[in-house]
């Protein structure tokens, strides 16, 4: 008789490797039109992550799968900012994220009562919740950056895990070897990741190794206890086209690949974060390189923004890159709003950014032949063919804006819109096929 205790199964990857299909795997399978075994196999080998903290599951969250063969997920960033703290506006953004089809909300609060906002968000939203504990560390510990200790930083991570955060961006890959490459090879925009720059500053001033890298095993223990998915932050993502796919970005990606394997070995789910800014013709290769170096871990991408000069319209520059990145292998898109590089987005910016990113993700899913991805497009074609406006709203990614614009500009000819009025091509051809005589010049 064996005296060894069986290891406790806690995380989705633990259960998957033990051959067990969890309720979350079933839920993902149902929504994605996949067999539960398809999901289990890929969770077991890390190609799919189901970020679902055991605390958030108890509060009734929905399960979302991120990774191979699944629909591309979309994240909305929000949170209380020190320079423009307005909790009511942030709650408006939460409502928009939920109503308009985001899959995740990242709470990037970095000022004031961050824990209260985070806990209420986890209590109330069924969407995946992500955070960046590094943003929160200074206010949470009430210490300046360079006075923060490794224990302080890990205390913040533990607090977020206890609160029920499903995935945390942690910049574990920016170690001394990567910063050496960065300093030796140089960059036009240096480091543009907020968390990455804080850690770089901390490492430079204290002379210490990145604690999330040095004590990675300890970090994994906390994540395992609550089934927090680590989203390995890309501190060295390119902040301009000039820096994309350079030595620094690649050096960090190699480290992230090694950290993926260590996370999986510890029974922790993992995703990897990616660029940034990147010329359109470089994106597909970057996605393939990430999947190769990071052993097919789900790839969570910000854009990439395909030009640096779209200021004021960066939801568009990012959506163009998002469509290419997702159709080339990225699994999860972080939205970008028109306020990118300019200011904290307002609620309208959030809607505009979310819709641009949803369109990019959906376009990619059609190209990737994700099961049933095109169903609504085909229904929309049928509704348009019949000039059935109510059916069109049911198919639209944003039915509210479409209906509002249509109703604000009533057409004189029934069934048409003011774009072509009585010369509506759809109506004309329908009438021809119905055998109705038309005389556009004489009709009412």
417 binds ligand SF4 (CB under 6 A): yes
438 binds ligand SF4 (CB under 6 A): no
Q: Both tokens of residue 56?
A: 């958030």
259 binds ligand SF4 (CB under 6 A): no
Q: Both tokens of residue 155?
A: 């205390």
In contact, 105 and 120? CB cutoff 8 Å: no
Q: Which of 426, 430, 431, 438 binds ligand SF4 (CB under 6 A)?
A: 426
Q: Which of 205, 343, 400, 425 binds ligand SF4 (CB under 6 A)?
A: 425
Q: How far apart are CA 182 and CA 204, in angstroms?
A: 13
Listing DSSP states for 284-332 in one string gives: HHHHHHHHHHTTT--EEEE--BS-S--TT-HHHHHHHHHHHHHHTT--E
Q: Which of 10, 391, 420, 438 binds ligand SF4 (CB under 6 A)?
A: 420
Q: How far apart are CA 165 and CA 121, in angstroms?
A: 10
**Number of residues counted as binding ligand SF4 (CB under 6 A):** 7
Residue 379's CB: how many other CB atoms inside 10 A?
A: 14
Q: Which of 265, 342, 419, 432 binds ligand SF4 (CB under 6 A)?
A: 419
Strand, coil or helix: what is 22? coil
416 binds ligand SF4 (CB under 6 A): yes
Closest approach of Cβ 400 to ligand SF4, in Å? 19
Closest approach of Cβ 384 to ligand SF4, in Å? 7
Stretch that binds ligand SF4, among 68-76, 100-108, 374-382, 416-424 (CB under 6 A): 416-424
138 binds ligand SF4 (CB under 6 A): no
Stretch that binds ligand SF4, among 4-12, 31-39, 234-242, 423-431 (CB under 6 A): 423-431
| Per-residue CA distances from 65 to 31, 52, 157, 254 (Å) | 9, 10, 23, 25
Closest approach of Cβ 202 to ligand SF4, in Å? 56
Stretch that binds ligand SF4, among 2-10, 36-44, 152-160, 422-430 (CB under 6 A): 422-430
Binding positions for ligand SF4, 360-379, rule CB under 6 A: none
Listing DSSP states for 245-279 in one string gives: T-HHHHHHHHHHHHHHHHHHHTT--EEEEE-SB--
Strand, coil or helix: what is 333? strand
Q: Both tokens of residue 439?
A: 């005389």
Residue (311 or 419) nearer to ligand SF4, CB: 419
What are the residues binding ligand SF4 (CB under 6 A)? 416-417, 419-420, 424-426
């Amino acid at each position: 008789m064996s005296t060894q205790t069986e290891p406790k199964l806690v995380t989705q990857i633990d259960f998957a490797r033990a051959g067990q299909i969890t309720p979350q795997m079933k839920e993902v399978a149902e929504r994605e039109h996949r067999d539960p075994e398809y999901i289990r196999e890929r969770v077991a080998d890390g190609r799919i992550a189901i970020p679902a903290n055991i605390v958030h599951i108890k509060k009734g969250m929905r399960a979302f799968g991120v990774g191979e063969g699944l629909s591309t997920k979309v994240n909305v960033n929000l949170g209380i900012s020190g320079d423009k703290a307005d909790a009511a506006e942030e709650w408006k953004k939460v409502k928009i994220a939920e109503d308009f089809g985001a899959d995740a909300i990242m709470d990037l609060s970095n000022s004031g009562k961050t824990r209260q906002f985070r806990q209420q968000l986890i209590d109330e939203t069924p969407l995946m919740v992500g955070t960046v504990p590094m943003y929160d560390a200074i206010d949470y510990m009430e210490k300046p950056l360079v006075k923060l200790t490794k224990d302080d930083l890990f205390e913040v991570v533990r607090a977020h895990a206890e609160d029920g955060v499903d995935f945390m961006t942690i910049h574990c890959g920016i170690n001394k070897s990567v910063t050496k490459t960065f300093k030796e090879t140089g960059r036009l925009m240096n480091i543009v990741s907020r968390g990455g720059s804080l850690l770089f500053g901390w490492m430079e001033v204290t002379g210490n190794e990145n604690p999330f890298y040095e004590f990675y095993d300890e970090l994994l223990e906390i994540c395992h206890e609550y089934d927090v998915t680590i989203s390995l932050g890309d501190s060295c993502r390119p902040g301009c086209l000039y820096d994309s796919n350079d030595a620094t970005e690649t050096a960090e990606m190699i480290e992230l690949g090694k950290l993926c394997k260590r996370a999986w070995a510890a029974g922790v789910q993992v995703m990897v974060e990616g660029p940034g800014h990147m010329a359109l013709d470089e994106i597909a290769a970057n996605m393939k390189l990430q999947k190769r170096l990071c052993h097919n871990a789900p790839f969570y991408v910000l854009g990439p923004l395909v030009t640096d000069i779209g200021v004021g319209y960066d939801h568009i520059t990012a959506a163009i890159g998002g469509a290419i990145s997702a159709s080339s292998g990225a699994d999860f898109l972080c939205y970008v709003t028109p306020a990118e590089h300019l200011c904290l987005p307002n609620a309208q910016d959030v809607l505009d950014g979310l819709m641009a990113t949803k369109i990019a993700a959906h376009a990619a899913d059609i190209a990737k032949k994700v099961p049933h991805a095109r169903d609504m497009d085909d229904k929309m074609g049928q509704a348009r063919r019949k000039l059935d406006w109510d059916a069109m709203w049911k198919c639209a990614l944003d039915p509210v804006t479409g209906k509002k614009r249509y109703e604000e500009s009533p057409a004189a000819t029934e069934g048409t819109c003011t774009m072509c009025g009585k010369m509506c091509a759809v109506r004309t051809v329908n009438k021809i096929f119905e055998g109705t005589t038309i005389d556009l010049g004489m009709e009412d």
